Amino acid sequence: MSVTIRPMAESDLDAVDRINRLAFGTFFGLPDPPKFRGDGDGVRTRFRAGTASGVVAEDNGVVVGAGMGSVWGSFAVIGPVMVEPSRWGGGIAHAMTPALVRHIEARGPRLLGLFTHPQSASHIRLYEGVGFHPQTMHACMAKPVAADRNGGEQVLYSTLDGPARASALSKCREICGASYPGLDVGGEIEAVRTLKLGDTVLLRRENDIAGFAVCHSGKGSECGSGAILAKLAFVRPGTGATAELRALLQCCEALGGQLGAQRLVACTNAARGSYGVLKDYGFRAFMNGIVMMQRNDPGYHRPDVFALDDWR
């Protein structure tokens, strides 16, 4: 095999986006695979946010595969990993994935995890080969947006001035760190603001922030038109976390109504307290995956954690 692996560059993004849509559209059996994700974008947004980077597999100057990973402080998520369908079975993923893991580990996270498809034995074998262990179900869920939903005590991050944004980011880091030490999604919060991908909802309680949700919405975001995605959301663990997560979901739904979204999307792990909250709130799964973790470490997949996160 003549394929070489190198770090991903800005100039690769068109090719990577094309392969991402074609590969996953083919895997899921879509009648028109290149239309996977519609007008959403799961490649350029992540790379330009600065939270994600990756590697590409190149054959004679042509990109034939790619892998990305997002680093959130002490924790990182591997994915998506994709190969041109005409090259499936040629060993490209097996050559590329160890390089991707090394590339992301070099950015300093303490633990890596990933989302994959339990019906695919080849995917699970691939990731077991680089030190990941299959664990629990990770559910991708959705519900219709109630257009008249009241957001209650919410503040939008985009409305804050510089000092207030810095203070809010600090509070959000504290909230993440309570679920997993060193977890920090501040880069995702800032990316949504600067790239205009949606907004971040801050759940206010008197003079404090009790929780937050990083929401994507609209063309070019990770969910595309017609929906709002709570890509990342956290409330403080402990007494009252169930009620606070429900209140945060109401804020997300209210924002979705304001933006004209018809569907609210959120993902969480079945091992967390947040899974039951989503079901009780009216969410239903449209896709179930399995998480795989380095060293079989559970990370923040625990019953006392009330967090939403899209690992796709």
Only one residue has tokens 């709570």, namely: 230
Going from the C-alpha of 122 to that of each of 28, 31, 43, 129, 140, the distances in angstroms are: 15, 23, 23, 11, 22
Around 64, how many Cα atoms within 13 Å sit in the side-chain half-sphere? 22
Question: Which class is domain 142-309?
Answer: alpha beta
Only one residue has tokens 């995702």, namely: 188
**pLDDT tens profile 189-200:** 999 999 999 999
Average pLDDT over residues 220-240: 95
- Which sequence spans correspond to the domains of the chain? 4-109, 142-309
Residue 1's pLDDT is 62
CATH number of the domain at 4-109, out of 1.10.357.10, 3.40.630.30, 1.20.1250.20, 3.20.20.150? 3.40.630.30
Nearest to 27 by CA among 134, 121, 92, 117: 117
Query: What one-character DSSP code corresponds to residue 42?
Result: S
Domains 4-109 and 142-309 share a fold: yes
User: Who's near 204: CB < 8 A, 6+ residues apart?
Assistant: 153, 154, 155, 210
Query: What one-character DSSP code corresponds to residue 158?
Result: G
Question: What's the CA gap between 180 and 302, in Å, rounded?
Answer: 10
Point out which residues pair with 200 in neighbouring strands: 214
**How does strand 284-294 pair with strand 307-309?**
unpaired
Nearest to 283 by CA among 300, 311, 297, 264: 264
Radius of gyration of the chain (CA): 19
Buried b (16+ CB within 10 A) or exposed e, 195-229: eebbbbbbbeeeeebbbbbbbbbbeebbbbbbbbb
Question: What's the CA gap between 69 and 111, in Å, rounded?
Answer: 12
Average pLDDT over residues 44-61: 93
**pLDDT tens profile 131-165:** 999 999 999 999 999 877 776 778 999 999 999 99
**pLDDT tens profile 115-134:** 999 999 999 999 999 999 99
CB neighbours (10 Å) of residue 66? Answer: 29
Question: What's the CA gap between 116 and 79, in Å, rounded?
Answer: 9
The model scores a pTM over 0.85: yes
**Are 49 and 187 a contacting pair, CB within 8 Å?**
yes
Q: Is the dihedral of CA 95, 101, 103, 104 positive or negative?
A: positive
Q: Residue 273: pLDDT above 70?
A: yes
